[in-house]
């Protein structure tokens, strides 16, 4: 660890790794600090990622792909199943990753590109000068070091504190935190090539329960419920335990993972003087699916690209860094977040009867491209009434 870098990245998840890697590739000196002793653990993720989304960043490698998916199933509150697949029957639509290895691979690629990495090293406060971020105080192994940087990229995850210390309010509204628990369960009867989503206010109020296969007879079995619906006796763990007892009574839990997923709108502004915020810390998780891997990698990479340009020009003011904020909001990803936020807001207000109606309307969907957007379009196509209910939003979905 040196005392000065062009770019200091807080957090060694997918956002931080892509930021560090990209910065190094652009010829900048970069340091990634990760507070945990190991990259990738604990996982805190259902580990699902679409085929195209992954391929945009990295070629798939069997070392960190647990399972390949050919379809998905949506289970209505009344138990009816909607099957989703590719137009090409049996073709691959996505992956369930092994994040412990995947995250490590991403950080390894950052290191290979030339970034420095420091684990069990925690940013405990920003270095501020005239209201601008100039680096961070790093605590590691009982020692403290001040690391100065032209730009700090805060990629410190759902529990992000760094940007708050710099004056950015990152508080997630109670109703928009998905209070989550996941078990990695072995020895269970599942379709090893299909993800399953259970919907309904009895199963997972204002959220969903998932079974994402990790291989033969093994899967991530997890749940996210709205923080608003959580409380003593009816927490995420209570709902999950009830489901597991009923559906996988003989399964063996080999890993236990609690977590929080934000499904709010992204931060109002993801930059400040000398600071950029990426990934879960920027609240750029897809509010409909809760998926955050792609968006983290996308914002992490973009942040470093913009940092490189701004550092090159010698201007890392908020105004200069705003290019990053504007670019991701105008991107396909940014637009999908905004659109999916509205769809999420619509869906969480629907009673189970309505969810049943929607899911019953189509028992099989074969998509040319397997995306959330195409699924929604198809559902709207067979439910013309929804166009009226969705109002202005519907126009953007055609």
Interface residue list for another protein (CB under 8 A): 35-37, 42, 44, 120, 122, 157-161, 164, 170-174, 177, 179-181, 227, 230-232, 235-237, 256-260, 262
- Using the minimum distance from each CB to another protein, give the nearer residue, 16 or 227: 227
Q: How far is the CB of 1 from another protein (least distance, A)?
A: 17
Neighbouring residues of 62: CB distance < 8 A, sequence distance ≥ 6? none
Q: How far is the CB of 355 from another protein (least distance, A)?
A: 23
Q: How far is the CB of 45 from another protein (least distance, A)?
A: 11
Q: How far is the CB of 111 from another protein (least distance, A)?
A: 21
Q: How far is the CB of 240 from another protein (least distance, A)?
A: 9
Q: How far is the CB of 375 from another protein (least distance, A)?
A: 27
- Using the minimum distance from each CB to another protein, give the nearer residue, 65 or 263: 263
- Using the minimum distance from each CB to another protein, give the nearer residue, 178 or 321: 178
Q: How far is the CB of 346 from another protein (least distance, A)?
A: 23
Cis amide bond preceding 42, omega within 30: yes
Question: What is the three-class DSSP state of 148?
Answer: strand
Q: How far is the CB of 36 from another protein (least distance, A)?
A: 6
Q: What does the alpha-carbon distance between residue 227 and residue 158 come to, in Å, rounded to a whole number?
A: 14
Question: What is the three-class DSSP state of 325?
Answer: helix
Cβ distance 342 to 393 under 8 Å? Answer: yes
- Using the minimum distance from each CB to another protein, give the nearer residue, 69 or 296: 296
Q: What does the alpha-carbon distance between residue 22 and residue 300 come to, in Å, rounded to a whole number?
A: 8
State the helix-helix crossing angle for 14-25 and 99-113, rounded to 10 degrees: 20
Q: What DSSP letter does each residue of 215-277 carry, written as one string? A: ETTEEEEEEEEEGGG--TTSSHHHHHHHHHHHH-TT-EEEEEEEEEEE-SPPPS--EETTEEE
Cβ distance 281 to 154 under 8 Å? Answer: yes
**Residue 367 is inside which H or E element, if any?**
strand 364-367
- Using the minimum distance from each CB to another protein, give the nearer residue, 137 or 161: 161
**Residue 27 is inside which H or E element, if any?**
none
Distance, CA of 320 to chain centre: 27
- Using the minimum distance from each CB to another protein, give the nearer residue, 91 or 253: 253
State the helix-helix crossing angle for 318-330 and 332-347, rounded to 10 degrees: 60
- Using the minimum distance from each CB to another protein, give the nearer residue, 60 or 260: 260
- Using the minimum distance from each CB to another protein, give the nearer residue, 57 or 183: 183
């Amino acid at each position: 660890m040196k005392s000065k870098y062009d770019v200091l990245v807080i957090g060694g998840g997918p956002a931080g790794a892509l930021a560090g890697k990209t910065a190094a590739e652009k010829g900048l000196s970069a340091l990634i600090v990760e507070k945990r002793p190991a990259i990738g653990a604990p996982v805190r993720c259902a580990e699902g990622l679409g085929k195209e989304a992954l391929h945009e960043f990295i070629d798939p490698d069997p070392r960190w792909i647990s399972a390949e998916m050919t379809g998905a199933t949506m289970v209505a509150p009344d138990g009816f199943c909607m099957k989703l697949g590719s137009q090409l029957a049996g073709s691959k639509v996505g992956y369930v990753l092994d994040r412990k290895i995947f995250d490590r691979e991403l950080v390894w690629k950052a290191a290979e590109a030339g970034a420095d990495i420091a684990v069990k090293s925690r940013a405990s406060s920003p270095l501020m000068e005239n209201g601008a971020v100039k680096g961070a105080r790093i605590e590691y192994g009982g020692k403290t070091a001040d690391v100065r940087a032209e730009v700090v990229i805060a990629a410190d995850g759902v529990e992000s504190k760094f940007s708050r210390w710099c004056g950015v309010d990152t508080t997630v509204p109670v109703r928009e935190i998905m209070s989550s628990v996941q078990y990695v369960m072995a020895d269970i009867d599942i379709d090893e090539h299909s993800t399953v989503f259970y919907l309904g206010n009895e199963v997972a109020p204002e959220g969903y329960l998932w079974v994402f296969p990790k291989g033969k007879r093994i899967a991530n079995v997890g749940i996210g419920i709205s923080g608003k619906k959580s409380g003593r006796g009816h927490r995420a763990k209570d709902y999950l335990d009830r489901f597991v007892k009923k559906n996988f009574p003989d399964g063996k839990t080999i890993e236990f993972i609690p977590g929080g997923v934000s499904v709010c709108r992204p931060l109002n502004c993801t930059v400040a003087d000398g600071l950029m915020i990426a990934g879960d810390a920027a609240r750029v998780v897809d509010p409909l699916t809760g998926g955050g891997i792609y968006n983290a990698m996308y914002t992490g990479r973009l942040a470093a690209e913009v940092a490189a340009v701004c550092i090159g020009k010698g201007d890392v003011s908020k105004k200069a860094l705003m290019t990053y904020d504007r670019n991701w909001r105008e991107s396909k990803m940014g637009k999908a977040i905004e659109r999916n936020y509205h769809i999420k807001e619509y869906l969480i207000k629907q009673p189970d009867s309505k969810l049943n109606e929607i899911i019953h309307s189509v028992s099989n969907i074969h998509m040319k491209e397997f995306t959330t957007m195409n699924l929604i379009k198809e559902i709207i196509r067979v439910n013309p009434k929804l166009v009226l209910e969705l109002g202005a939003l519907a126009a953007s979905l055609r």
